[in-house]
Chains A and B, each alone.
Chain A
Amino acid sequence: MEIAGIFKYLYELLAGSGLSQTWVDIIALVAAAVMVFGVLALIALFLVWWERKVSGHIQQRFGPMMTGWHGWRQTVADAVKLLQKEDITPSAVDRPVFYWAPIICFVAAFAAYVTIPFGKELIVSDLNIGILFIIAITTFTIISLLMAGWGSNNKYALLGGMRSAAQVVSYEVPMVVSVLAVVLFAGSLSMVDIVESQAKIYQWYIFRLPFGPIAFIIYIIAATAETNRTPFDIPEAEQELVAGFNIEYSGMKFAMFFLAEFVNMFTVSAIGTTLFLGGWQGPLLPSWIWFFIKTLALVFVFMLFRWTYPRLRVDQLMEFSWKFLLPVAFANLILAGWMKYSGWFNW
């Protein structure tokens, strides 16, 4: 059941209703933004519940069970509780910086969804610099981490914020280089073009040996670090520095950081699906269902990492990124370039 047709029909209705073109565009864009926001909010709620269930079952316990069937209403209950919490702002914080940090984090997390294809023709705007735009926008979260660390006026928050920023910046580079390998092969930065160049299952970039799997593995590792998840979750390591950059946040501001983390996880999984696993393509089921299945599979992989591995120390983390991942990613890029140029691998 393809829902792109519904949106096309609604747009036709709007265009034919007599308003000027600019008004039609504005209303259409606002409606699209609200819809995407709504879908993402639901996805974030679902992911929080799913993480608790997955972690529970890995640890041989059940997770939430009381609020609704297998605890599906737990996240709703937690959100309501967080809304009611007192918004404590310590007196010594740097006010504008402190207030704007969670907002910037939240906006950066959501703004990336302008060019993520949820299914066939289900994309807000197919920019021809798609993947570049997403990477640039998600980099805004670094600014928000630094702002949170600085604005809290707290030694631990500052240390946590700086470490987090260092980590995200370090792992951004191998991630971009591994994505470049795919872009090189696809020949275009546009997300829709990349998906359509993987029309058959043997054309999926994850299966294009030898550069595909390597690029995929580098991407998965770097994406885990980008979203501050174990084994790279030093900034949030409660056991070491009593919760890094978000110590001083409570109530709704804390909820924004928290939700932004889950939305980020979904973003990197969506990018991974689009670039490596063939996007929305698949037989029988509608395209958006395939997209969700593949993305949630990648999210599940991230969750497995979190609940299995211990965490790395800060210097080991940096060493791993700069001394190992980056050279491998560059070598992979050269390999991809040679493969494309030689023309033998263009099946």
Chain B
Amino acid sequence: MTEPGLNTEEFQVNMGPHHPSTHGVCRFILTMDGEEIVEAEPVIGYLHRALEKICENRTYQQCIPVLDRFEYCTSMSCNEAFALAAEKLGGLEVPERAEYLRVIMLELNRIASHLIWFGTTSLDLGAITPFLYGFREREDILDLFEMTCGQRLTYNYIRVGGVAKDIPPEFIPKCKQFLDTFDAKVDDYEKVLTENPIFIARNKDVGVMSAELAIAYGVSGPSLRASGVRYDIRKDDPYSIYDRFKFNIPVTFNGDCYDRYLIRIAEMRESAKIVRQALEQLPEGEIAGKSTMNYKPPAGEVYSRIENSRGEMGVYIQSPGKVKKPLRVKLRGGSYNQLEVMPELVKGHKIADVVAIMASLDIILPEVDR
């Protein structure tokens, strides 16, 4: 880039915190040499709400709505991660129907989250229309959630020991109707973006992450599977009743933004498969175990993790024993590690690529800042 004898300087550009493309409030300090980025430093903490400290002061059931806000795009997963950990502490058994309802809600929430990702990725790259298409589908899913628990975004549905309410009778026909048209809609999305030469030119070979880099930095979820590592907690460390469903794990090997896109599109289809199977196998029964309003687990500590749409979501709970409130709740979200690895990925790219890489890693800031 520099000719001998020509004096050039690196300059710093500030991106954010108020920026239309950082998904949440995140600031990047980019050190640039011309149009290329030499170094990128993320500055976070704008969305720190001290959720962990709050949870130390709440009973186990009161923690669930607080943790809804931990990652509001997949609020069901946050509930589930915490509920799993709390149930392991106390050795609680969850009824069969509740397990199936949990799986249905989790997978529908995964589809909704991937639709948000799809919309915001294409919006960041300039194609505004797929955003509205994705949100149109998401409206159907949010209608299903509203029917069940009354909420569209932060559900407070999966409780310690079961779920909060049973599904109304209209749920199953509406869900089936949604699933029947969903595959055709995903085909539509693929038609708009997957073969588009402009989209490919913006995403191929941009932000390549090798498998070693991904594992070293603790990246998980679709971003890890795009780098060739076939690891999905639903299959490799199963929790709940995921071992009863047949679904595939998409894996690609290049590790660039385009691969991460392909994997998430494929995952949407797999989640639809799981929901269909769960609806067929749904048994009758009760939806919550013994009353858990005054849940007092014995002394212990446990770390339980689930496969969120952004990676591994883990909750570590330490309980002092027979007390209503946990001693320590530590939250781990997938976006934290992906933001940690971003400075490595953007070196040598241009500013426009920062936007593309951040969108493809599907980082949302509440998970990072807690």
User: A312 is contacted by which of B122, B129, B198 (Cβ under 8 Å)?
Assistant: B198
Q: Whole-angstrom distance between the alpha carbons of A172 and B200 in the complex?
A: 26
CA distance A3 to B122 in the complex (A): 47
Segment touching A, from B75-83, B147-155, B225-233, B348-356: B348-356
* Nearest Cβ on chain B to A170's Cβ, whole angstroms: 16
Q: How far is the CA of A241 from the CA of B13 in the complex (A)?
A: 11
Sample (18) of A-B pairs whose CB atoms are under 8 Å apart: A59-B132, A60-B132, A237-B126, A239-B20, A239-B123, A239-B126, A239-B355, A242-B20, A307-B129, A308-B127, A308-B129, A308-B192, A309-B126, A310-B196, A310-B199, A310-B202, A311-B126, A312-B201
A314 in contact (CB, < 8 A) = yes
A342 contacts partner chain B, Cβ-Cβ < 8 Å:
no
How distant is the Cα of A254 from the Cα of B176 in the complex, in angstroms?
50
* 0/1 string, B106-133, CB within 8 A of A gives 1: 0000000000000000111111110011
Contact between B35 and A314, CB atoms less than 8 A apart = yes
- Residues of the A chain whose Cβ atoms lie less than 8 Å from the Cβ of B123: 239
CA distance A238 to B125 in the complex (A): 10
User: Which of A240, A309, A315 lies in contact with B127, CB distance below 8 A?
Assistant: A309
Chain B residues within an 8 Å CB radius of A55: 128
B129→A58 contact, CB < 8 A: yes
Flag whether A323 is at the interface (Cβ < 8 A). Answer: no
Any A CB within 8 A of the CB of B19: yes
Q: Is the CB of B126 within 8 A of A313?
A: no
B21 contacts the other chain (CB 8 A): yes
**Cβ of A231: which chain B residues have Cβ within 8 Å of it?**
126, 198
Q: Which B residues lie within 8 Å of A234 (CB)? A: 352
B350 engages A307 (CB within 8 Å): no
Query: Does A155 touch B at the CB level, under 8 Å?
Result: yes
A330 to B132, CA, bound (A): 41
Instruction: Identify which of residues 122-168 in chain B touch chain A, using a CB-to-CB cut-off of 8 Å.
Output: 122-129, 132-133, 136
Q: What 1/0 mask marks residues of chain B from 209 to 251 whose CB sits below 8 Å from any chain A CB?
A: 0000000000000000000000000000000000000000000
Is A233 touching B126 in the complex (CB atoms < 8 A)?
A: yes
- CB pair A310–B20 under 8 Å, yes or no, is no
Interface mask (B29-53 → A, CB under 8 Å = 1, otherwise 0): 0000001000000000000000000
Whole-angstrom distance between the alpha carbons of A312 and B126 in the complex?
Answer: 9
Contacts of A85 in B (CB 8 A): none
Residue among B13, B350, B352 with the highest chain A CB neighbour number at 10 A: B352
B13 touches A155 (CB 8 A): yes
Q: Are A310 and B122 in contact (CB under 8 A)?
A: yes
The answer to whether A316 and B128 have CB atoms under 8 Å apart is no
Contact with B along A45-66 (1 / 0, CB 8 A): 0000000000100111100000
State whether A316 touches B201 (Cβ < 8 A).
Answer: yes
A314 touches B126 (CB 8 A): no
- On whether A314 and B125 interact (CB within 8 A), knowing A59-B132, A60-B133, the answer reads no
Mark contacts of B1-35 with chain A using CB atoms, 8 A cut-off: 1 yes-contact digit, 0 otherwise.
Answer: 00000000000010000011100000000000001
In the bound complex, residues from chain B placing their C-beta under 8 Å from that of A58 are: 129
Q: Please list the residues of chain A having a beta carbon within 8 angstroms of any beta carbon in chain B.
A: 55, 58-61, 155, 230-231, 233-234, 237-242, 307-316
CB-contacts of B301-356 with A (<8 A):
350-353, 355
- Scoring B21, B123, B127 by chain A CB atoms within 10 A of each residue's CB, the highest score goes to B127
B198 touches A239 (CB 8 A): no
Interface centre among A155, A239, A308 (most CB of B within 10 A): A239
Partner of A310 from the list B19, B21, B126, B133 (CB cut-off 8 Å) is B126
Bound-state Cα–Cα, A337 to B253, Å: 50
Pair A314/B20 contact, Cβ less than 8 Å: no
Taken together as a complex, chains A and B put the C-alpha atoms of A307 and B129 apart, in Å, by 6
Shortest distance in angstroms between A53's beta carbon and chain B's nearest beta carbon?
Answer: 14
Kindly list chain A residues whose C-beta atoms are within 8 Å of the C-beta of B353: 313
Q: Smallest Cβ distance from B21 to chain A, in angstroms?
A: 5
CA distance A320 to B203 in the complex (A): 17
CA distance A308 to B126 in the complex (A): 9
Contact of B202 among A61, A239, A312 (CB under 8 A): A312
The chain B residue sitting closest to A306, CB to CB, is B128
Given the known interface contacts A230-B126, A310-B125, A314-B352, the answer about A242 and B199 at a Cβ–Cβ threshold of 8 Å is: no
A309 — which chain B residues lie within 8 A by C-beta?
A: 126-127, 196, 198
Bound-complex Cα distance A30 to B268 (A): 63
Closest 6 CB pairs of A and B: A311-B126, A310-B125, A59-B132, A310-B127, A310-B126, A313-B352
Expressed in whole angstroms, the minimum distance between the Cβ of A324 and any Cβ of chain B is: 12
A313 contacts B21, CB within 8 Å? no
Collect the chain B residues with CB atoms within 8 Å of residue A242's CB: 19-20
A290 to chain B: closest CB distance in Å? 31
Closest to A237 in B: B126
Given A61-B132, A312-B198, A315-B35: 12 more A-B contacts, CB < 8 Å: A55-B128, A60-B136, A230-B126, A237-B126, A240-B352, A240-B355, A241-B351, A310-B126, A310-B127, A310-B198, A312-B201, A313-B201
CA distance A239 to B136 in the complex (A): 22
Query: In the bound complex, what is the Cα–Cα distance between A314 and B126 (angstroms)?
Result: 13
Give complex CA distance A310, B124 in Å: 9
Do residues B128 and A313 form an inter-chain contact, with CB atoms below 8 A? no
The CA-CA distance from A242 to B128 in the complex, in Å, is 16
Q: Specify which chain A residues have a CB less than 8 angstroms from the CB of B133 in the assembled complex.
A: 59-60
In the complex, the answer to whether A59 meets B352 with C-beta atoms within 8 Å is: no
Could you say which residues of chain B place their CB within 8 Å of the CB of A241? Answer: 351
Min CB distance, B194 to chain A, in Å? 12
A75 nearest CB across to chain B (Å): 20
| Residue numbers in A under 8 Å from B20 (CB-CB) | 238-239, 242
Q: Which residues of A contact B196 (CB under 8 A)?
A: 309-310
Task: Specify the chain A residue showing the minimal Cβ separation from B192.
Answer: A308
Chain A residue at smallest Cβ distance from B14: A155
B122 — nearest CB in chain A belongs to which residue? A310
Closest Cβ–Cβ distance, residue B256 to chain A (whole Å): 15
